[in-house]
C-alpha cells in the first residue's frame, strides 16, 4: 500500500468552549479521489481550513508529502503542492478567463506583477490547456463576471490547478449548480484526476456525486470521524445510514 500523501493525526480545533474538530485522523492516498461527507456542522469546512493553513489547530498535526505543514500559512501550504478551491466562488471578475489563469500561473512562478503581453504569451498555451481541460475553452476571452455559476466554479478550480498542486482540495465544488452543471463538473474533476495523476480531496453534500467518483469516503459527525473506507463499504454502514444518509436503507440504491 502506498504511503499517504496527506497524513492528519489528532487534529483538533476549539472555538472557545466549542470543539469544531475533535481528534481527526485522516490519510489520503496518492492519486485517490477522497471525499469527506457529513451533515451541516460536522466540521468538514473547519477541517479543510486546518489542512490549508487558513486556521491554526488547537492540537494535532498535518503532514503532506512527508513535510510538517501544521499551522503553516496558506501561501506556504500552496507552495508545498496543496491547493484549495473555496466553497464561495472567488475569481477575478474583471479579467478574462485566459487572463485569470495566466495570472495564477505567473503567481506560481513568482511573477505576479508581470501580466503583460510578453509574459502572457509565454504562459498562454499552458493557461489554454487548463481552460480546455475544465471545459472553459470557448469562454477563454470572456470576463469572469459574465460566466454562469457553474463556469465560475470551473474557473476557480482552474485557478487552483494553475498552482501545480499534487493535492487539490475542493470544498463543495457543485454547490448551487444545476444537475447538468453538476454532472459536467464531476466528469471534468474525474478526468483531471485520472489524466494528471492528481490527488483530490473534496467535501460534498450530493451523495450521487460522492459515491459515483470517490475511491474512499470519510464520514464526519460532530467533529469526529464516524466512518472511513471504500465508498461501497461506507454506503452500507448502518451507523452512517442512520446519522447522515437517513435510516431508510433504500437510500443505498438511490
Tell which wins on pLDDT, 174 or 31.
31
Average pLDDT score over the chain: 86
Whether residue 35 is predicted with pLDDT greater than 90 in this model: the reply is yes
Tell which wins on pLDDT, 117 or 206.
206
Whether residue 2 is predicted with pLDDT greater than 80 in this model: the reply is no
Instruction: For 49-70, write each residue's pLDDT tens digit.
Output: 999 999 999 999 999 999 999 9
**Cβ partners under 8 Å of residue 205, min gap 6:** 37, 172, 175
Choose among 11, 39, 31, 38: nearest CA to 23. Answer: 11
Q: In the numeric block, which cell numbers belong to residue 118?
A: 510578453
| The pLDDT of residue 53 | 94
| The pLDDT of residue 103 | 84
**Cβ partners under 8 Å of residue 32, min gap 6:** 199, 200, 215, 216
Q: By CB neighbour count within 10 A (0-12 exposed, 13-18 middle, 19+ buried), where does 28 fall?
A: buried
**pTM for the full model?**
0.85
Containing 189, the helix (H) or strand (E) segment is helix 179-196
What architecture does CATH give domain 1-81+165-254? 3-Layer(aba) Sandwich (3.40)
**Residue pointed to by grid coordinates 481552460:** 131
Instruction: For 83-134, write each residue's pLDDT tens digit.
Output: 988 655 667 788 899 988 988 888 777 665 555 555 566 678 889 999 998 8
Numbered ranges of CATH 3.40.50.300 in the chain: 1-81+165-254
Residue 163 to residue 82: CA distance in whole angstroms: 9
| The pLDDT of residue 3 | 84
Amino acid at each position: 500500500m502506498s504511503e499517504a500523501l496527506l497524513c492528519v493525526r489528532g487534529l483538533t480545533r476549539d472555538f472557545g468552549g466549542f470543539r469544531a474538530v475533535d481528534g481527526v485522523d485522516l490519510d489520503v492516498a496518492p492519486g485517490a479521489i477522497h471525499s469527506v461527507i457529513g451533515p451541516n456542522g460536522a466540521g468538514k469546512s473547519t477541517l479543510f481550513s486546518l489542512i490549508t493553513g487558513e486556521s491554526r489547530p488547537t492540537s494535532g498535526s498535518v503532514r503532506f508529502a512527508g513535510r510538517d505543514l501544521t499551522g503553516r500559512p496558506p501561501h506556504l501550504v500552496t507552495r508545498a503542492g496543496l491547493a484549495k478551491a473555496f466553497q464561495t466562488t472567488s475569481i477575478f471578475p474583471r479579467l478574462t478567463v485566459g487572463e485569470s489563469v495566466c495570472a495564477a500561473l505567473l503567481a506560481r512562478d513568482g511573477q505576479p506583477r508581470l501580466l503583460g503581453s510578453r509574459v502572457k504569451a509565454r504562459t498562454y498555451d499552458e493557461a489554454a490547456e487548463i481552460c480546455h481541460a475544465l471545459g472553459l475553452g470557448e469562454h477563454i476571452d470572456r470576463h469572469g463576471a459574465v460566466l454562469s455559476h457553474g463556469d465560475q466554479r470551473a474557473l476557480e478550480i482552474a485557478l487552483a490547478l494553475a498552482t501545480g498542486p499534487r493535492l487539490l482540495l475542493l470544498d463543495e465544488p457543485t454547490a448551487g449548480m444545476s444537475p447538468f452543471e453538476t454532472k459536467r463538473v464531476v466528469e471534468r474533476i474525474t478526468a483531471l484526476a485520472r489524466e494528471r495523476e492528481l490527488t483530490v480531496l473534496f467535501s460534498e453534500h450530493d451523495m450521487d456525486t460522492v459515491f459515483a467518483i470517490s475511491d474512499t469516503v470519510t464520514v464526519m459527525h460532530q467533529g469526529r470521524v464516524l466512518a472511513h473506507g471504500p465508498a461501497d463499504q461506507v454506503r452500507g454502514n448502518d451507523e452512517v445510514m442512520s446519522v447522515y444518509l437517513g435510516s431508510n436503507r433504500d437510500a443505498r440504491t438511490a
